[in-house]
Amino acid sequence: MTGSTEGTVGPTGDQDVTDGLAELAGSLGYTPPVVLSSGVEFLVYRASPLSGAAHEDVVLRVPRARTFHTANNVGVGADGLLEQELRITQWLAPDGFPVARALGIEYTRTGTPVLLSAFVDSDAQAPDWSEVGALFAALHAKPAPDLAPVVQYGRPVPDLLAQRLPDRFGRLLDLRPGLGELPERAAIAARLAETSAEPALLHLDLRRQNLLCSQGRVAALIDWSNVLIGDPAMELARMSEYALIPENGLDERAIRQGYEAAGGKSSVTPAADLLYRLDAAVMLALVFTSVAPDPRLGPVQTARVVELLRELADVW
């Protein structure tokens, strides 16, 4: 798996959640885990079988907290997100969709949930981005699973975004006043409800970092924490916003070409497309100004929010 330089269990500041992780790994027949990568909400480790154990290398995904409280996610339980990832990968794997095969959820002696998945070998070679587009077309063509996504809170996407977009925008205004105004919540829901697209499972976190690749082919699409069931146009809009950040390593044009060539369909009004983009841009602005402050990307993403608000006003 891709990620930061490997190290020992328990990065500084994360001892509470990693306490007992080596003990858990040993009880399951694995060596003490080493760090593969670390994100805002999760730490990722790799462990190998103990001598003589009939196992393969595994990845352990460990939440930094049992409940997340950030500017974007307030009161989201880590155990629910890990259970969601387990169910989604088990749903996709039998059809040959490239995922990291989830093996189960275990708990450390302190009660921290840990998702175990099969280790997926990967290299630094970028994928054929048109094939990535085709992969997402295949995902959206599948009938949506019987799943209640954690961060969807049981609502259809138009109602969800009519709630979370103004809420998040309000938090951003507290940090960066004077950015502009959003339409009323009811108007946002009405514009998004105009779509006739069949709801599909949306990954909503397409970045190079979430694609494990081997010799130019996608070996696994990872990190299913952001999923919703809704309009596929939302996936493409978010991907386009992500592609504006060079660190995400995306080729937007090739992805869209591959998506369309594989039969992916996206029919969306200009207003809905801009609302989907704003949902992504506001989230990113909060990440880079509050959750994981970045002196370069913070101002860039805030300016992008202002730009999208102006474009939205023009088509509203």
CA geometry: angle at 209 spanning 132 and 155, to 5°?
A: 75
Determine the pLDDT at residue 231: 97
- Summarised one tens digit per residue, pLDDT across range 254-311 is 999 999 999 998 899 999 999 999 999 999 999 999 999 999 999 999 999 999 999 9
CATH number of 129-315: 3.90.1200.10
Mean pLDDT in residue range 66-80: 92
- Summarised one tens digit per residue, pLDDT across range 208-262 is 999 999 999 999 999 999 999 999 999 999 999 999 999 999 999 999 999 999 9
Determine the pLDDT at residue 242: 98
- Summarised one tens digit per residue, pLDDT across range 140-187 is 999 999 999 999 999 999 999 999 999 999 999 999 999 999 999 999
How do the domains of the chain map onto residue ranges?
15-118, 129-315
Determine the pLDDT at residue 18: 83
Q: How confident is the model at residue 52 (pLDDT cuts 50, 70, 90)?
A: confident
**More reliable by pLDDT, 57 or 54:** 57
Determine the pLDDT at residue 196: 86
Q: Which of 11-20, 84-93, 94-103, 249-258 has the lowest mean pLDDT?
A: 11-20
Which residues, in sequence order, are CB contacts of 3 under 8 Å at separation 6+?
A: 35, 36, 37, 38, 44
**And the tokens for 260?**
């369309």
CATH number of 15-118: 3.30.200.20
**Alpha-carbon distances, residue 68 vs 41, 76, 80, 286, 300 (angstroms):** 7, 5, 11, 15, 26
**Alpha-carbon distances, residue 20 vs 40, 45, 252, 294 (angstroms):** 21, 14, 42, 32
Closest CA to 33 of 11, 64, 65: 11
Per the document, the length of the chain is 316
